[in-house]
Structure 1
Amino acid sequence: MDLNYVELSEQQKTLYLKLLDNSRKQLAYLDVLEEDLVNNLTSFLNLHQEWNQCTHEINKLDEILQDMEHLTDQLWRLEILREVETNIEKVKTVLKVNFENTSVNLQSVHNQRKVMNAYYSLQRNDQVPLYVDEKK
């Protein structure tokens, strides 16, 4: 049973390292976000799928390892999770700033469109509808 526990612990550590790598990739992804928009966010979707799969496997292993009741030093897990949390917070911050910039840009476009319509009547239709009633 100890051998099985050791193998499962190594798998768990590998998965946590994979999760850390994924968080680093997400952070690096922000540099190529504009390029990925052209490709329908395929890189983002791949990262998201990998993240979900990894967290699912970690949760399953955590349940199994909790049942074995081995008390070991898992300081490595805390260090990895701290770095993952830091990376995810950086990603959230950058995405929040991008969201706010996009919001401001959309509002600016909306205002410019109003001005263009007010001064140049771009939505004006040159045809005037005529309604003819039947003679009573």
Structure 2
Amino acid sequence: MGMISEFKEFISKGNVLDLAVGVVIGAAFGKIVTALVDGIIMPFISMITGGVNVSDWKHVITPAQIGADGKEIAAEVAIKYGALFQTIIDFLIIAFVIFLVIKAYNRMRAPAADAAPPEDVLLLREIRDSLKK
């Protein structure tokens, strides 16, 4: 019974709900960034590289072997680094946008540096100073 009540307490905390919302929003944001990279950024990179699709970049170690009948006997062995390159670009964009969001959030949370002390604090300071004399 103790574990069930601990689990209920854990689930009922606000942090778990915040985390769940963050994961769902993060997954949706990841799809947006992937669409941005696939649809806008990678075509520009392909244009620069002569029309080659970045995700198709690979280093062939052993080419495919094709028999006399035209069928593939053995598949090619290749290091496909293009997909890794595209995923790294996705990650960098997501990390940069999250950095900007956190930076803006921290700027909103920061208290005003030039905030004057409340009137009651000023009054108490005057009383303190007059009692010292």
Higher strand fraction (1 or 2) = 2
TM score, norm. by length of structure 1? 0.33
TM score, norm. by length of structure 2? 0.33
Higher helix fraction (1 or 2) = 1
Q: Which has the larger radius of gyration?
A: 2
Q: Which has the higher contact order (CA 8 A, sep 6+)?
A: 1
